[in-house]
Amino acid sequence: MRPWWRAPRVGRMAKTNASAAAQIVAAKCLGKSWCSVAPSRALFGVPKGFDAAANRRGGLALSVKVQCSALSDAEMARRQVEEDAMDSQCSDGCLTCVSESRSVSPDETIIIACDSDAIISGIEDAVYGAEDEQPPWMFDETVGMCLQPASVIPSSDMCRWDSDRVMVQLRRACAGRPKCKLTWADVDRMFPVDACTGKAKRLSIIARCQRTQLPRDASAEVRPNSFGMLHYEERLLLGDASGALVDSYQARTAFETSPTVLASEAPKSLSEFVYSSAERRKGVSVGGSAAVIRRFLATFTLRSDEGMPGINIWHFRVMGDPSFWRLGGVMALIPQTTHADECDAIGGCQMAGCTRKVHDDHGAVTGCVFSLNLKPGVMYQLHMYGVSDRAVPDAGLSIEFKPPSHCLLHVNCDNPAAVQGLCRILSQRDMPFQRMKVGELPHITCAAPSLAEVVRCKLIVSKPVLKLERTYGSSA
């Protein structure tokens, strides 16, 4: 039988063993409708007689000739069974494998991706070190299809960075995201000390993807100028979720990887919602000092006919019993177009680092106001996470909002039968924070926005200034 591949014509050129090269390509491509192979000297070796020292970044090329054939009905049925089995397996997590050469692709972006309905929940293994010393990379790089039961990258005795440290840094950078993009400059910031001086580098990663743990309605389309759904849930914080307090991505990972759901509810409003209720847990007991992670979730879409193209700073006030964020609290606003937290633009929305604190009558901090530039016509998910090891009876939380400064709130102006004097039009400064509840937003009208907006002023230093009398000018 004729082999599935045929060696291209090579003349008198220096080349590696064609059979060995074909086996490497077959491991990555056989049985697929298409495939991508990143050739490297570490993967295919260096041909005998080739001057590698004089051609450190070039001089080699990969040529492949393949044979394609139509799939039989039996083969299609077999693949469907495998795909269904993979879907079942991915409910508990699937692997994505990535390997990038710094010498071959110095300007390449390293992309660790999951399917659209999954997030990166962990880094199973990672090797960053000397490319020429790393064993051949034979893993399937198709998203979520890396069948590597041992979840280990061969490294032999190669020069490399400590793998535990590499895994920790990658987890901090990527966990909780459906797709993580890293440049080599990002890698340099993670590992500023060169452990393999003068050697070409390669970064290889095995990441675990897990399907998102969101209510079904969280992805349903929300009509403009409306809130779509509200949801509350609390779970037991697992012991290895040490990154839960870093940012919203880590908090999401800690929440969604916990299998122990303690309570959940679909509230009518996120104003003064009492979350600490023994009745809501339905008899589940976790102990008085067990750490619990809680999540409030809301979906909404702003109007698309107002606020473009200037600045649209919306203000969100999180206020309630401080026990909610005793061990950490963070908010995220995630547009369903990019899935990147809008809070990243202001350095994160952490309760601990709040710059606009809310105080009660006794001066105690009871909340924070976060100001974010939002896009009209885009559907958002609001996530609010809190971690605590204290259960305060009848503790509550409110998440409320105000529109941008160029907007007005119309109160009692929609009912033509109402007394005319009851209609009030309030500026942003005069209006109260508005409740989040399912349905249309309050009657808000907005003028054309400005190109900038002051959201906070801070007095750096204040001291008297003495001026000589003659510098005041003449007195009339």
Residue 39 carries which side chain, given as an amino acid letter? P
Supply the pLDDT for residue 82: 56
Q: Considering the domain boundaries, does residue 425 fall inside one? A: no
The per-residue pLDDT for 5 is 47
Q: Please indicate, yes or no, whether residues 205 and 226 belong to a single structural domain of this protein.
A: no
pLDDT of residue 2: 45
254 and 150 housed in the same domain: no
Say if 107 falls within a structural domain. Answer: yes
Q: Which two tokens stand for residue 282?
A: 């339905």
pTM above 0.75, yes or no: no
Check residue 90 and give its pLDDT.
58
Q: Report the pLDDT value the prediction gives residue 47, as an integer from 0 to 100.
A: 80
Q: What percent of the chain has pLDDT over 90?
A: 41
Task: Judge if 232 and 292 occupy the same domain.
Answer: yes
Rounded CA separation 402/370 (Å): 10
Backbone Cα Rg of the chain = 29
Inside any domain, residue 439: no
Give the pLDDT score at 255: 92
Residue 310, domain member (yes or no): yes
Within this chain, do residues 251 and 123 fall inside the same structural domain, yes or no? Answer: no
Whether 200 and 137 map to the same domain: the answer is: yes
> Are 16 and 44 spatial neighbours (Cβ–Cβ below 8 Å)?
yes
pLDDT band at 129 (very low <50, low <70, confident <90, very high): very high
Where does the pLDDT of residue 242 fall: very low under 50, low under 70, confident under 90, or very high at 90 and above?
very low
Long-range contacts of 13-17 (CB under 8 A, 24+ apart): 14/47, 14/48, 14/49, 14/50, 15/47, 16/44, 16/45, 16/46, 16/47
Q: Which comes out higher in pLDDT, residue 256 or 239?
A: 256
Residue 281's domain comprises: 216-398
- Are 16 and 160 in the same domain? no
Residue-wise pLDDT tens digits, 165-193: 999 999 989 998 889 999 999 999 999 99
- CATH number of residue 384's parent domain: 2.60.120.260
Cβ atoms of 313 and 373 within 8 Å: the answer is yes
Same domain, 239 and 274: yes
- Please tell me whether residues 323 and 372 are part of one structural domain: yes
Our count of domains for the chain comes to 3
- Give the residue from 382, 398, 414 where a domain finishes: 398
Residue 387 is predicted with a pLDDT of: 92
Asked if residue 461 belongs to a domain, the reply is: no
Residue 435 lies in a domain: no
Question: Measured between alpha carbons, how far is 239 from 431 in angstroms, rounded to an integer?
Answer: 44
Each residue's pLDDT tens digit, 341-393: 999 999 899 998 899 999 999 999 999 999 999 988 899 999 999 998 887 88
Q: Which of 211, 236, 255 is the last residue of a domain?
A: 211
Whether 306 and 186 map to the same domain: the answer is no
The enclosing domain of 99 has a CATH number of 2.60.120.740
For residue 102, which of 75, 63, 122, 131 has the smallest C-alpha distance? Answer: 131
Are 45 and 108 in a shared domain? no
* 465: in domain: no
- Would the pLDDT of 52 be above 80? no
**Residue whose C-alpha is closest to residue 251's, from 320, 180, 175:** 175
Confidence at residue 10, expressed as pLDDT on a 0 to 100 scale = 53
Q: Is it the case that residue 20 has pLDDT exceeding 80?
A: no
CA dihedral 119, 124, 130, 132 (to 10 degrees): -90
Q: Which of 211, 236, 259 is the last residue of a domain?
A: 211
Q: Are 279 and 182 in the same domain?
A: no
282 and 152, same domain (yes or no): no
Domain for residue 472, yes or no? Answer: no
Q: Where are the beta strands (DSSP E) in 77-178?
A: 94-101, 110-113, 118-130
Q: Is the pLDDT of residue 33 over 60?
A: yes
Band of pLDDT at residue 307, cut at 50, 70 and 90: very low
- Residue 458 pLDDT level (bands cut at 50, 70, 90): low
Statement: residue 245 has pLDDT above 60? yes
